[in-house]
Structure 1
Amino acid sequence: MLWEVLGSALVGLAVALVAGRRFADRFRDRSLVLATGPAAAFCGGVITRVVLGPGHALPTLMVAALVAVALLSLLVRPRHRGGPAAGRPHVGAV
């Protein structure tokens, strides 16, 4: 159990590092990304281990990675499109 959970945290850290490098301009705080990835994967790994039981290391790591990706996607901010005509109506325009 210990190795699956630690492996899940390492998978989450790897996902966070890749996301932090690939989408550096889309995240507000790099330290938040590096903390959220392993924590999310750890929780996903523990829950999967409880549900599936022992002996399912690969599915546990896969679900842990998916949970990390899902929670990291909540931290992504939208791209700035610029200007008032780029999606939001300009209030008070005459």
Structure 2
Amino acid sequence: MLLEALGSAVLGLVLAVVAGNRLGHRLPTRSLVLATGVAGAMFGAFLTHSALDAGGVLLIFGGAAVVSVASLSLLLRPAGRLRRRSAPA
């Protein structure tokens, strides 16, 4: 179980670094991105381990990756400027 936790934390860190390198212009500060990636992966591993009990390490890492990517996607900002249209009077 300790290896699952460490592995999922490393997986979340790797996913956060990749997201920061590829989408750095659309993400907030790097420390927030790294913390969100690790926390999302740890929470995903916890959820998957709780749901599947001893379902296998690969399934737990898969759940960790899914939740980590989902939590990182919540940090994304729009690429361009938002156009605001005035409502007709």
Match of 2:43, as an amino acid? C
Tell me, in whole angstroms, the C-alpha distance in 1 between the residues paired with 2:28 and 2:44: 24
Query: Is 1:46–2:46 an aligned residue pair?
Result: yes
Tell me, in whole angstroms, the C-alpha distance in 2 between the residues paired with 1:79 and 1:90: 21
Q: After superposition, what is the alpha-carbon deviation per residue over 1:17-73, rounded to whole angstroms, capped at 9, x for unaligned? A: 000000000012111001000111001101111111125100100110010000000
Any stretches of 5+ residues in structure 2 without a counterpart? none
Counterpart of 1:14? 14
Counterpart of 2:83? 87
User: TM-score by structure 1 length?
Assistant: 0.85
Range moving further from structure 2, 48-57 or 8-17: 48-57
- CA offset at residue 80 of structure 1? 2.3
Q: How much identity, in percent, do the aligned residues show?
A: 49
Runs of 4+ off more than 3 Å: none
- CA offset at residue 87 of structure 1? 3.0
Range moving further from structure 2, 25-34 or 51-60: 51-60
Q: Which has the larger radius of gyration?
A: 1
- CA offset at residue 3 of structure 1? 0.6
